[in-house]
Amino acid sequence: MLAITRAIATSSTKSSQFRYTIVQGRNKSKTHWAVLKRKTSAKYKAQNHFDDFYGSVFGKKWEPIKKAMLRRPKYVAVVNNYGDTEETAEYLTNRGAHCLKNLMSIQQEFNTQYNPTPEAATSAEPDDKLQSYINKVQSDDIADIYPQTGELPDKLDHGNLILNSTEYLLTNKVDVQAQNNSINISTPKSPIDESRIIDPSLGMSTAEALYQYIPATKLKGMDDWLPESLHYSFVSTNKDFPLVIDEETEFKFPEHLKVYTYEMESEFTMFPEPRRCKTGVMNYYPLDCGSVLAVLALCLSPGDRVLDLCSAPGGKALIALQTLLPDIVICNDPSISRSNRTMRTFNDYLTDFKTSNKWQERVLFTRRDGREFTDDHGFDKVLVDVPCTTDRISMNENENNIFRPDRIKERLRLPELQSQLLVNALRLVRVGGAVVYSTCSLSPIQNDGVVHVALKRAFEDHGVLASVRDLSACMASLSSTVELARGNTAPQYGQLVTPSIAANFGPSYVSRLVRLK
């Protein structure tokens, strides 16, 4: 702070008077404390993690993607067919929104006329930058787990983790005396030193004071410890199973699905809050365009029996119902609160949802673990919108952030959970039916990595063979609406919507799998 003296002259009929005032001024050259303070909250941890990880995956493309993800997302509006449909469509059109189906049709005609060649990935293998990043994480884990002296292994075996130096020496057959083989072995054989027994009457303070002198048999928490590289072990190039990739030919925009969006770089990016129609339901449902793509990738047909394995909060199941195609939609979620949220959403958008027998027969709710979901009839279509790192939310919100310290184990085990859900979905769908796997993450681990592992496990453990459907030609008609990953950042097994300032949708990953046997 700088003290500044200022003199103020005041006039008077009798005499002139001077009043001196001391004014404190800030030194403008100093940085505000909020900038200097270290950012340690969960959202900043997520941002730092993504800078390191996605910077390795996307290279120079990551900075504009990050800039878009830190801004307000863009939505589309799905017109409610159970409300004032025509009035709502006219209202959205007057606000400058365009019908997504028309935009896709125009873009498709343009593509057909000029026949542009889609930019293909330079290699089917994981990018070298990604592999280098994974090797770095692997090396860091090995250095943390193993003693700093002696020869370190080339790779960490996640199936048989060695968590302390004594076991490491034993595993590598280091010559040590038998009585010192390991604390876990020698401690039970040692005589009890009764002089060190703590009398409970002494109180906890005394016990805590003596705690540091008592040898520990194991480190508390190591049983639940997980290496960071476990999260990246799902990047696999092993193709020792039948991997079939076919071009998608069944894709068609549903006739009755009405989706409206604003143009790229439009001055209008947000729709106003939905309002009630004459029938009492909301007039349209706003959501990310990536969620609509997941429903489109189902390629729904009239009379389909559909399972939404991880349904809550119910947006994608609602869009499936807006196509007027499925005969039965089963919404499954193990959480009671999340299932109740889905029911409230349906009640807001489906006429007489709570009282009509029609809806009770068509829309069913279950609360089972998706990995153990069973069914005797089989499904025509299964949607698996798995729990993921929810990248955009993780970068902007601290509440319930999966990058919180108490959720580290949950985050590292996400790919395993995701693959188990997808494997079970492949078992539940009938032969000839389709499974759509989707996330709201940019991570190649949670996207292509999980699909690859799930296809392998489904074939080896259950004899289920599925083909990956290439959606590149179908999604090319969306190039004027969303930003799709191209080149060496494009996934092999699906389509990835990447956020951009002009079209701030996503991130969303969509993969379509068709069961062959």
- 433 among annotated binding-site residues: no
Structure tokens that stand for 470 in this block? 């290439």
Please tell me the distance from the alpha carbon of residue 224 to that of residue 243, in angstroms, as a whole number. Answer: 35
* Beta bridge partner(s), residue 328: 305
Residue 43 resides in a domain: no
* Backbone φ, ψ for residue 239 (5° rounding): -115, 45
489 secondary structure, DSSP code: G
Q: Which of 277, 289, 388, 440 is catalytic?
A: 440
Judge contact between 353 and 279, C-beta under 8 A. Answer: no
Helix (H, G, I), strand (E, B) or coil at 457: helix
Residue 406 in marked binding region: no
Output the six-digit token pair for 70: 């830190």
The token pair that represents 51 in the structure block: 């800078």
Q: Is the pLDDT of residue 163 over 80?
A: no
- Distance, in Å, from the CA atom of 342 to the CA atom of 348, rounded to the nearest integer, reads 10
CA distance 441 to 393: 10
Contact 77, 260 (CB under 8 A): yes
Please give the pLDDT value at position 111. Answer: 85
Whether 95 is in a domain gets the answer yes
Instruction: Please check whether residue 474 is in contact with residue 430, taking contact to mean a CB–CB distance below 8 angstroms.
Output: no
**Which ranges of 217-356 does DSSP label H, i.e. alpha helix?**
289-296, 315-322, 336-349
Convert the pLDDT of each residue in 431-474 to its tens digit: 999 999 999 999 999 999 999 999 999 999 999 999 999 999 99
Q: Is residue 275 part of a domain?
A: yes
- Residue 311 known to bind ligand: yes
Cβ atoms of residues 292 and 319 within 8 Å: yes
The answer to the question of residue 167 being in a domain is: no
Strands (E), 14-150: 17-25, 76-79, 98-99
What Rg do the C-alpha atoms of the chain give, in angstroms? 30
Tokens of 63: 């900075």
Would the annotation count 314 as a binding residue?
yes
369 assigned to a ligand binding site: yes
pLDDT level of residue 149 (50, 70, 90 thresholds): low
CATH code, 484: 3.40.50.150
Whole-angstrom Cα distance, residue 99 to residue 470?
Answer: 25
Nearest to 56 by CA among 134, 165, 157: 134
The pLDDT, as a whole number, for residue 121 is 45
Confidence of residue 119 (pLDDT cuts 50, 70, 90): low
Rounded to whole angstroms, the Cα distance separating 105 from 108 reads: 5
Mean pLDDT of the 499-512 span:
95
Residues 92, 274, 260, 262, Cα dihedral to 10°: 80
Report whether 33 contacts 470 (CB < 8 A): no
Which pLDDT value is given to residue 241?
84
Mean pLDDT of the chain: 81
Per-residue pLDDT reduced to its tens digit, 334-363: 999 999 999 999 999 999 999 989 999 999
Model confidence pTM above 0.85: no
How far apart CA 365 and CA 241 sit, in angstroms, is 36
Question: Does residue 309 form part of some domain?
Answer: yes
99 is catalytic: no
pLDDT of residue 129: 72
Residues in a beta bridge with 125:
none
The answer on whether 301 is annotated among ligand-binding residues is no
Predicted pLDDT at 78: 97
- Across residues 129-142, what is the average pLDDT? 71
315 annotated ligand binder: yes
pLDDT for 253 beyond 50: yes
DSSP per-residue codes, 132-144? HHHHHHHHHHHHH
Structure confidence at residue 388 (pLDDT): 96
Residue 422 belongs to a domain: yes
Is 385 annotated among the ligand-binding residues?
yes
Residue 402 lies in a domain: yes
Asked whether residue 246 is marked as a ligand-binding residue, the answer is no
- Angle, vertex CA 477, rays to CA 326 and CA 70, nearest 5: 90
Cα separation, 128 vs 134, in Å, equals 10
Residue 123 maps to a domain: yes
- The per-residue pLDDT for range 31-76, each reduced to its tens digit, is 555 554 557 899 999 999 999 999 999 999 999 999 999 999 999 9
Say how many domains are in the chain.
Answer: 1
Q: Is the pLDDT of residue 422 over 60?
A: yes
Longest dimension (CA), the chain: 108
Q: What is the span of the domain harbouring residue 486? A: 48-130+235-515
Rounded to an integer, what distance in angstroms lies between the CA atom of residue 503 and that of residue 165? 52
Q: What percent of the chain has pLDDT over 90?
A: 59
333 is in an annotated binding site: yes
Q: Kindly state the tokens that stand for 397.
A: 């919100």
CB atoms within 10 A of CB 507: 27
